[in-house]
Amino acid sequence: MHLLTPGTLFGGRYEIVRSLSTGGMGAVYEVLHRDTQRKRAMKVMLPHVLANDDMRQRFKREGLVTAGIESEHLVEVFDVGIDEQAQAPFLVMELLRGEDLGARLARGERTKPAEMLEIIEQVVRALERTHAAGIVHRDLKPENLFVTRRDDGSLRIKLLDFGIAKLIDRSSKDTASVGTPL
């Protein structure tokens, strides 16, 4: 499977509208759900990692790990599946408008102290919910903090990318080093 082109039907019901980004494990597309006509974001596992069972499990976990947690600061996942033709796993999520905090920083854009405080408070709320559910993100960085706006114009942060999240077994002390710092 190569990068998907606009108009391609994927997963039997999602029409590719455009490419949004590509990361180490997957490519993200804007898609149109054929039945509901709603636009969503879809992350598809990249070809070079398809054969790696560990990466397939991480990809699947990303879609399921936060499914039971309700928070306006976590990306809502609507569908998880495998495209039969490409044999590629995919996740369908809410389509966000805005940009990640890393892009803002890369442009040298300054954030006012009050807004930075709001960003930190919202990230803490998201982490409180995930930690209470026994999930540790393990890749917290500006690129995984998406800055968007509510309908009233107020700031809203979404915590992204739970691909290397760890589900905590409270009876175990087992840990491993993973994530961007490596």
Please give the Cα distance from 61 to 137 (Å, whole number).
12
* 139 part of the active site: yes
Please give the Cα distance from 119 to 111 (Å, whole number).
10
Q: Is 54 left (phi over 0), alpha (psi -120 to 50) or beta?
A: alpha
Please report, as a single letter, which amino acid is at residue 89: P
CB atoms within 10 A of CB 73: 21
Candidates 79, 139, 151, 152; catalytic one: 139
DSSP codes, 88-102: EEEEEEPPP-SEEHH
Q: How far apart are the first and last CA of the chain?
A: 28
Per-residue tokens: 181: 């710092």
| 165-175 exposure pattern, b = at least 16 Cβ within 10 A, e = fewer | bbeeeeeeeee
Per-residue tokens: 128: 């409180």
- The residues that are catalytic are 139
